Structure 1
Amino acid sequence: MRFGVNYTPSQGWFHHWLDFDLDAVRADLDAIASLGVDHVRVFPLWPVFQPNRSLIRPRAVEQLVALADAAGERGLDVNVDGLQGHLSSFDFLPAWTRTWHRRNLFTDPDVVAAQAEYLRTLAAALADRPNFIGMTIGNEIAQFAAGPPHPDPDRISSAQAGSWLERVLAACEEGAPGRTHLHAEYDASWYQDDQPFTPAHAARLGALTAVHSWVFNGTAQRYGKDGPATYGHAAYLVELSKAWADDPHRPVWLQEVGAPQPLIPAEHAHRFTEATIDAVLDCPDLWGITWWCSHDVSRDLADFPELEYSLGLLTNDGTVKPAGKAVAGIAAEWRGRVHSPAPRTTALVVDAGDDATAPRRSVCAPGGPVFEAFAALAAEGVRPTVVLASRADDAEHLAARGITEVVTPDHGAGGRSLGARCAAD
């Protein structure tokens, strides 16, 4: 079982790449390692590393390798997000893709070729490091492809999104063959009908599926800071992702999850952290959990959304916060243990339309019938998972996942008689 953190440098946030200080990085990694976690996810800023389409700065790549080596010296494996992209409400895109040089990030052949070369270069620089997990294409890069919420989207079709993902994932594999290369989208891919990055892309492309769970998406607002559906949101996303996976045991990585204030008050962060992780650990085929984030953003930095200043497991000066103690305690409890929860035998049917494009996937969003039915089942003590309507009668698929009962979303809290049927039928 893997436990890690998304590394947010204590000095300068991700702007630290402009004034890279390896000693400061080492101090941060010492603090992270003291939590007992085993990996970090790190974020090169794309415009800093590739400021011109034909220039990938050698010194920046050397600094990334130095960071990875410093992590390895502390027993930490490293996953690298390449196209940053978007972080904590700020966009970081090279000037050669914007304004006077405005080109679509996903379809312009010159831009895509440059992205592929950049990702290939980073992967190759780390390929011989034993603590290198692999590349993530970028942090929630799907947000650039649809608006709202993005104010200036690079609009594409689902087919174009899939083609782009295949191209850039192949570049990572060329740079570092056999490593765990993946892409990561935010929950719009699971909940927003017109998002071109789809559940099928998330669950079928790349070495594993990544999910990012943020309860400020309407979950905490609707169900409360300590509602079972709020505690269970991350586990729900993990299980929802399995509906679209072709491999019945495809690994799922909870790559981002955090306790956002004020929806999760500071005094409740410890409880939220424990309850969220406990729920996720009951999900089979879980690769790992990576908390957002390591350090609070410094109050010296301006214009962040208020919640970003308090998401760390550590304060800006390195003091362990209550949520950090919760993660450390769970990591210690699980060290050396095999993660093997029993199969989830009851499957909730999701019909989001065409499986490839999921044009009605909002049925899965907080308040939607699939979400509500999943929460109702969990409240009854059932351990539900999710299956596509197209597979609900596929005995081979159900058996491979250990599913023995299929339930439709018209199920209510009073019992499973509505729409329930035995999978063996």
Structure 2
Amino acid sequence: METTELQAKLASFDHLLPSQREWTERLLFQLAFNDVDHIEAVGAVGSGKSTLALTLAELFSEQYNVALLNTAAGDDQVAGQLMQQWFGLPAQAGVALSEQIAAQAGTMPLLLIIDNTEQFSTILPQLQNLSCLLFSFSGKPLLDDGLTLTINRPTSADAESLLLAEQLNPLEITTRLADADGNLHLLLRPAAQARSAAIIPEYTKPAMPPFKAVYIVIAVVLVAMLLYFFWPESETPDTPVRIPVPIPAVTPEPEDVIAEQDTAFVEPVPEPELIPTIPPAAPEQIVTDDSAIEAENATVPAEQAVSEPDAPEVEEPLVVESFKYDETELLGMDKQQVALQLAVLSSDASLQRFNKAYPQLGSLVYQRNWQGKTQRVILLAPFSNAAAANQQLAQLPEALRTGGPFVKRLQAVQTEINALRRNQQSVPE
């Protein structure tokens, strides 16, 4: 296998620990000089297997059609996940997975990465027989054949890189590394602190003498009695609540105004009980009152009717959903049309490299969520039918046609966009 581009891409990965970078370089060396299809990475708990699995998925994403299995699932669910990740299609019931892959396989080779392989022990023999490159990560050897690369224990250089922000001296770093016993999670949360916390006895407050407790109870009762008898009463009278009443829009005569002024502001006698506050009328009730006033004004002579200015309308704020890429344009297309999917990328850096390599395509991009990871899907759309999309496929550059683009319904694209939007809206802010 030609690994020159992979080694150059690995040099740009700055998130790897020294031991993890060394393991990845060993893997590329074996692939360059050995013809192997199954490679098994064996490491203890907390040795960084999941980190290496995600690193390989990103490293091989441009040269391989990558699928990643990292959560436990049944045999049928595994087949559905692989068909969806590799080809964007559902699995066919009653048809062997190898036959479905053979019918859909394109020019781009397939790569399957399995994290926590112990969860897929029942379907593992079937996965080994697939025509793809297989990377397996587990705590013990499980594959019948292939190459096994052991993940080494974290080194002092790894500890210095992880604990750089804590500014520890070499002795403290060595102690933390020894307490972690090869587990990177425990290295970040040192077990020594947990042991020291367990050794320190919990402070127990001595029991209070019975006579002292009696004195405290008596003092509390006396204070409560004094507050009850000598607390000043409030002299502020209860504030009367005025209930708004709809007034017809008719100008009264001067005599009526005087009569209303004599009786409108008679203060009610304060009652000892509380008067509930009645909230203002809802907007729907106000509209009903206005219509009643207009009906009443229709029966009043024209010289007595007084037109009231309309209440200003309050515009409700518009909720505008923002997308990062071209999701809005794709959602506005006819779902019966089709699109031509070109690639699936896992980072903005890969997307920028793609756009720089093919600036003339005029492609569209949207995000989807698959296996808990956000992917960027590049496609050309819309096309009225599959024949038009295949005609455009024949005009693509040779490098893109060898990548295995395929026709995809816009209905499936819109479903993936809406699914990601619902997931984002369900997350509490």
Q: TM-score, normalised by structure 2?
A: 0.25
Larger radius of gyration: 2
